[in-house]
Amino acid sequence: MEPPCLALLVFFGTLLVLPQASVGSTRHYTFNVAMQNVTRLGSTRAIPTVNGKFPGPKIVTRDGDRVVVKVINNVKDNVTIHWHGVRQLRTGWYDGPAYVTQCPIRTGRSFVYNFTVTGQRGTLFWHAHVSWMRATLYGPIVIFPKHGVPYPFPKPDKEVPIIFGEWFNADPEVIIAQALQTGAGPNVSDAFTINGLPGPLYNFSSKDTFKLKVQPGKLYMLRLINAALNDELFFSIANHTLTVVDVDAAYVKPFDTEVVLITPGQTTNVLLRANPHPGCPPATHLMLARPYSTANPGTFDNTTAAGVLEYAPPGHIKTHPLFRPTLPPINDTAFPANFSARLRSLASAEYPANVPREVDRAFFFTVGLGTNPCPANQTCQGPNGTKFAASINNVSFDMPATALLQARYYDRVAGVYTADLPFEPLEPFNYTGTPPNNTNVSNGTKVVVLRYNASVQVVMQDTSILGAESHPLHLHGFDFFVVGQGNGNYDPAKHPAGFNLLDPVQRNTVAVPAGGWVAIRFFADNPG
């Protein structure tokens, strides 16, 4: 086993004595990471898989259970697995990000992840957390409530995970290595997938179509997961209304929608009543997933994955009419604002929303793209011959060679990280206005240190430096409440008055709106 190795957030303070946990079961899994030949879009490629499956196996657990997964690395690249959204209460070293909470698992080695799922119900997912290995190494985590505890909505007759991904004809490891070398944006994917399958709207792909067979009158719960590397996706099923009941393994006040928007790293449970147009002849209904993006055409994959909703009795698909849902325009910036405004916590006696009302520590983070200069002896393909660099408050993250948590645990942080990430931009500017002339960012391995149980507010502000774009942000080890969001620049004198502190949605991943801002709050209750 590798040594226990920290998170970007380091907490100091007394540890709480946990109340005696109710005894859950332990779920054991073995993940053998190995290459497997897979054919998509007419060509065959050997890809890293778990247990030969693509997408990988489903982890099924209950709120309160322990999950133990032995991961064996039988591929040439380093691997770690991240249990995306699992709180990892005081088990930060099992969270998975390479060089943050652990050293990677080398070829031929194994590592046992061992954690409990506490106070979460719904859907999460696991994925590799080194480089771009997650392009093919991912799978669902299904979390049922504790034994005997019902859902706060009608019990579905059947539950089906639907995991979206991005398929690359080239090796994703080569793509990201090239992008880091040249400084250009990485090559875009060749297809989106639904449960690993692109569907009939791509060449050579009609037999690789996800089919969901349903019976009229039955209630289905689709556990939607966006495991795509880069793109936010619209999802819709022709002639069917979806009822959103849970996001990121936390219940929400149910609401109906024709279209779901799901950001990479997010999950959404929706109910689907199989009951189309009674009295009409049987039909086949397409389900579609395609991006929401404000980027320039050509800089992102704008193709469409399709699956099929089939009514029994099957066998007459070709003769049935085929219905296609209508998706919003790719750059429909009003949709994400309206959709997120509808997401509300249950905030009931059983499922309270423990929203921090006071703020001990407030952060204002600019989030966006800048540039790094091109090394003298190289030519670069980023803006004006520079290299693209993503940054927070103008600091681009340098991956350390020692895991942050390990450095902290052994009290050897010197040379690994510094605790001086600016809590606000050093030089304020019009974040969504005319870009500054100097687009250079600095580099560093900088962290924020928080006191145990501090209440924290983070406002994330998109920048238009190299084009306003929506950026998904995921917080490890915590759920947070999305208390506000808006267009343009955040105004600390004006906007907090409009924050929702009653029933804001609780989640682990949020999109910083293109040319806008989002405010989150959480309690720093998970040292690590």
Ligand X SMILES: *[C@@H]1O[C@H](CO)[C@@H](O)[C@H](O)[C@H]1NC(C)=O
Residue 8 falls in which region: left (phi positive, over 0), alpha (psi -120 to 50) or beta: alpha
A 10 A CB-CB count for 371 gives: 23
Residue 280 binds to ligand X (criterion: CB under 6 A):
yes
Return the closest-CA partner of residue 286 out of 337, 323, 245. 323
Residue 43 is a binding residue for ligand X (CB under 6 A): no
Which one among 104, 139, 264, 356 touches ligand X, defined by CB under 6 A? 104
What is the chain's Cα-based Rg? Answer: 23
**Residue 21 makes contact with ligand X by CB under 6 A:** no
Phi, psi of 285 (to 5 degrees): -115, 125
DSSP 52: T
Which region holds residue 206: left if phi is over 0, alpha if psi is between -120 and 50, else beta?
Answer: alpha
Q: Is 297 in the site for ligand X (CB under 6 A)?
A: yes
Among 20, 22, 379, 437, binds ligand X (CB under 6 A): 437
Angle at alpha carbon of residue 411, lines to 409 and 416, rounded to 5°? 95
SS (H, E, C) 159-192: EEEEEEEEECCCCHHHHHHHHHHHCCCCCCCCEE
How far is C-alpha 179 from the chain's CA centre? 22
Nearer to ligand X, 247 or 369 (CB): 369
Gap between the Cα atoms of 471 and 358, Å rounded: 27
What's the closest the beta carbon of residue 134 comes to ligand X, in angstroms? 16
Q: Is residue 35 near ligand X by the rule CB under 6 A?
A: yes
The residue of the chain with the least Cβ separation from ligand X equals 433
Amino acid sitting at position 524 = A
482 binds ligand X (CB under 6 A): no
Residues 6 or more apart whose CB falls under 8 angstroms from that of 299 comprise: 185, 188
Nearest distance from residue 254's CB to ligand X, in Å? Answer: 22
37 binds ligand X (CB under 6 A): yes
Rounded alpha-carbon distances, angstroms, from residue 65 to 143, 258, 526: 9, 34, 18
Give whichever of 353 and 395 is closer to ligand X, judged by the CB atom. Answer: 395
Among residues 385, 346, 387, 355, the alpha carbon closest in space to that of 370 is found at 387
Interaction of residue 352 with ligand X, rule CB under 6 A:
no
Residue type, 96: G
Phi, psi of 101, deg, nearest 5: -105, -15
Site string for ligand X, 106-145 (x = CB under 6 A): x-----x-x-------------------------------
Contact status: 516 vs ligand X (CB under 6 A): no
Residue 267 CB, nearest approach to ligand X (Å)? 25
**Residues near ligand X (CB under 6 A), total:** 47
Q: CB-wise, 48 or 156, nearer to ligand X?
A: 48
260 closest CA partner among 285, 277, 243: 243
Interface segment toward ligand X; rule CB under 6 A; list 174-182, 256-264, 267-275, 306-314: 174-182
Q: Which of 3, 25, 42, 46 binds ligand X (CB under 6 A)?
A: 46
Stretch that binds ligand X, among 104-112, 206-214, 346-354, 420-428 (CB under 6 A): 104-112
Per CB under 6 A, 418 contacts ligand X: no
Q: Which residue of 119, 314, 352, 433 would you call a contact of ligand X, by CB under 6 A?
A: 433
Question: Near ligand X by CB under 6 A, which window of 54-62, 99-107, 133-141, 249-257?
Answer: 99-107
**How far apart, in whole angstroms, are the C-alpha atoms of residue 143 and residue 148?**
14
- x/- letters, 316..335, toward ligand X (CB under 6 A): -------xxxx--xxx-x--
Among the listed residues 68, 160, 337, 362, the single contact to ligand X using CB under 6 A: 68
Pick the closer one to ligand X by CB: 108 or 433: 433
Q: How far is the CB of 104 from ligand X (least distance, A)?
A: 4
Minimum distance from residue 286 beta carbon to ligand X (Å): 9
- What secondary structure letter does DSSP report for 123? E
CB 168 within 8 A of CB 190: yes
Which residue among 150, 298, 313, 315 contacts ligand X (CB under 6 A)? 298
What is the 8-class DSSP label of residue 291?
E
**Positions in 187-226 near ligand X (CB under 6 A):** 187
Among 6, 7, 238, 367, binds ligand X (CB under 6 A): 238
- 17 CB burial (10 A radius; 0-12, 13-18, 19+): exposed
Identify which range of 101-109, 144-152, 475-483, 505-513 contacts ligand X by CB under 6 A. Answer: 101-109
User: Residue 26: in which H helix or E strand, if any?
Assistant: strand 26-40
Minimum Å distance from CB 399 to ligand X? 9
User: What kind and span of H or E run contains 485?
Assistant: strand 480-487
Does 373 bind ligand X (CB under 6 A)? Our answer is yes
Q: Are the CB atoms for 151 and 351 separated by under 8 Å?
A: no
Cα–Cα distance measured from residue 115 to residue 99, given in angstroms and rounded to the nearest whole number: 19
Among positions 16, 21, 149, 174, the unique one binding ligand X when judged by CB under 6 A:
174
| Residues forming the site for ligand X (CB under 6 A) | 35-37, 46, 68, 78, 103-104, 106, 112, 114, 170, 174-175, 178, 187, 238-239, 277, 280, 297-298, 302, 323-326, 329-331, 333, 372-373, 375, 377, 383-384, 387, 430, 432-434, 437, 439, 442-443, 466
